[in-house]
Each structure stands twice: as C-alpha cells, then as structure tokens.
Homo-oligomer: A and B are copies of this chain.
C-alpha cells in the first residue's frame, strides 16, 4: 500500500518551524505495520492542488495536514472538492460542534469559521475535540480509488485525531497484509564501507529483508525491516561479523547504554574533561536516571586547573604538553582520586581551529580510562572535524572505552 504525507505550511518552508510531522507519521504508521513512501511540504494556498493531483495518480492513501483553518489561505477543503469534482456541502453536526467549541470558551464565532464545517459530498467528518477544524475522510470510492485524510496542522489536534480517527480506518484499508518488524542496530568504531565490504552481500541474499545505513559522526546506524525471521537472520549475520562494535540494538543511546551497564554492576563513573569542555558529562545527564551511574565531573580547560583540581604534576605538563598521553593518564588518575567512583574517563586534545602543533596537530586527542585497582590505559585518536563534531566523536570514543571494559571486550588501541 503506497502512502504519502503532504504537509502544507509556509512556515515549514521558511525554516521558522522544523517539520516534525514527517518523523511522527513515520513512527505512527510503522507501529501499524505501514510505511510512508513519500513526504512533501508545500506552501499554504494553491500549491496543494498541484501536489494532490500528482499524488492521486500514484498513491493508495494520502495524508494531508494543514489548510483547514478559517483564513483565506486555508483552502485544502475547497481544492480537494474541486479536484474530485464534488460539491462542498455544510455538515450540520460539524457546524454545531464548532459553535459549541466557541460557546464553551465564551468566545464569539467568526463568520469565517463557518467554512470549517464544509465537506465534499460523500466524505466523512472526523471530530476534533482540540480545535475548531474537524478532519475530513474521503474514502477510496469517492477519491478515485485513493483514500484521502485531511487533517489539522497543530500537533495537539493532529495526534489525537490520528489515533482516534485515522489509525483504525488505515488498518481496515490494509486488510491482512504481511506483518513486518523493524530493528535498529547502532555501531561505533566501524564505517559504512566495512559493512559494504563484508556483510552487505550476505544481507542482500536474505529474502523479505530491507536494510539501510545512516552514517553519523563516529556512529553508524543500520536499520533492518522485514519479516521477523528475516530481521533475526540479518541480526545474526551482522553480530557475528561486528558484535563488539554494536553498542545498541534496542534504540538506546550510547549514554543510556553506559548508565545501564554501570548501574547493573553497581559502578560509578567520574569524568575529567579538557577539550570536550563538559560535553561528555552533558551527554550522560541528558538521560533520566544518570545519577545512578554518574556522580561528578570536572572541566579543566586551563593547565592551571588541571594542576589544582586534578593534581596533575606541573612538570608533567611542562615536559609533555597538556595534550599528551602522560597528562591524560594523570587526569584520569586524578579524577578517580578526587571522587568516590571506581571508574574515571579523562580526555585532553586540540579541538581547533587553532592550537595545533606538528606533534599534536588539530584534531588530536588522548583518552584515558582509569579503573580502581587496574592499570590506567590511554589511546590516541585524531578527529579532523569542526569543534562540535570533534567533541561528539571524542565523547563517543571515551564512552565506548568504558562500554568495552564493562563488557570485557578488548581495549581499544591507538589509531590516528
């Protein structure tokens, strides 16, 4: 079943509002075992007509948001009636509901609101308890074989209407299609081309499986879609090849994975950050429940603060430089000492754009992991990225070092 979403709204094209409807519909339909084939955004006004005409040619279901309001550029209803060559008539029940909406709020209904109760002959009203614009359902028999849903734009009106009025109609339209499942695996330490060169071929040969990669900085997400059997088979193939690099197979973020691993084992983590400037701690504290695994961190941005707060020997910085293997280790040891925690991560590097040297060029970072009663170890990396991406890449690598240690995978080694 081919499903399209059309969003109308000039504000979406001007960039003043991020279009979150696309992602919301994607998830809502996926939960019904359906997929959006195409999504488009057009300005308020006439553009919706051109878009709808093209969509009617190729789609079984069209979900349209916006353009049901009372103002002059809200003309979705009129355009649909025109395209389907159906008269617009007043729905008396819808009219009363709109009048009541205003009466309840002690407001006077504007004359312009009357048009919100109009719908093409043969269509069905979908009530909107959260706004004045009722939705309109045009069943395939009057939509030239296509089912059309006209829905309000504001999320607080749209989402309940989808759940109460659209979902069951869609399920009825589909009948008994093959149920699909979906899984997302997240990796760090390997890239898209590693997959391409090894498991891509094997995955292609699994029947009823679709898969797609999404490359992010220092992270690769792989989506599997298909029958339950196909997805399980694919997961087995992938985990055999890249198991230790897969940090999440249930939608969890890296930060959440770390928190859960530490909480499970009753451990806590201290952090000492130089070049990431608080970003590692911030990622952990983005997750509810962070306090179960995370206790304290220090951002020692200057040399002075490394000495004072973490007890890094001044001579060590003078001899090796602040961005060095030795200082990273001393920072991690210092952070462990300063806290009651049993693990500590420390990072020191050159985020750029300035500050690089021949020995430690921009992008260089040393990441150390200290563990109570274990030798502290350190790796060297280089991420040549803008500052914010650099900070993300370093944080990802640092958290991955902790993950690997907790799961008893081999420690990472230098790569730069």
Contacts and interface: CB of A to CB of B under 8 A. Distances in A.
A171 interface: no
A interface bracket (residues with beta carbon within 8 Å of B): 35 or more
A388 B286 contact: yes
B279 A14 contact: no
Interface string A377-391: 000001011111101
A269 to B, nearest CB: 11
Interface string A326-343: 000000000000111000
Interface in A237-280: 271, 273, 275-280
Interface stretch (A64-72, A83-91, A226-234): A64-72
A200 B304 CA distance: 50
Total copies of the chain: 2
Interface string A391-402: 100000000000
Contacts of A215: 69, 154
A112 interface: yes
A152 to B, nearest CB: 9
Contacts of A22: 12-13, 15, 18-19, 41
Q: Which 6 pairs from chain A and chain B are nearest by CB?
A: A277-B285, A15-B26, A278-B281, A278-B278, A110-B193, A15-B27
Given A11-B214, A73-B212, 19 more contacts: A13-B38, A14-B36, A16-B184, A16-B223, A37-B47, A72-B200, A105-B384, A110-B194, A110-B197, A156-B217, A276-B282, A277-B285, A277-B290, A278-B279, A285-B301, A286-B388, A288-B352, A296-B305, A298-B309
28 contacts: A11-B221, A12-B22, A12-B26, A13-B22, A14-B30, A15-B36, A16-B27, A38-B41, A39-B40, A69-B192, A72-B204, A73-B213, A106-B415, A110-B196, A110-B197, A112-B193, A277-B286, A277-B294, A281-B282, A281-B299, A285-B351, A285-B387, A286-B391, A295-B302, A297-B298, A297-B301, A304-B340, A305-B339
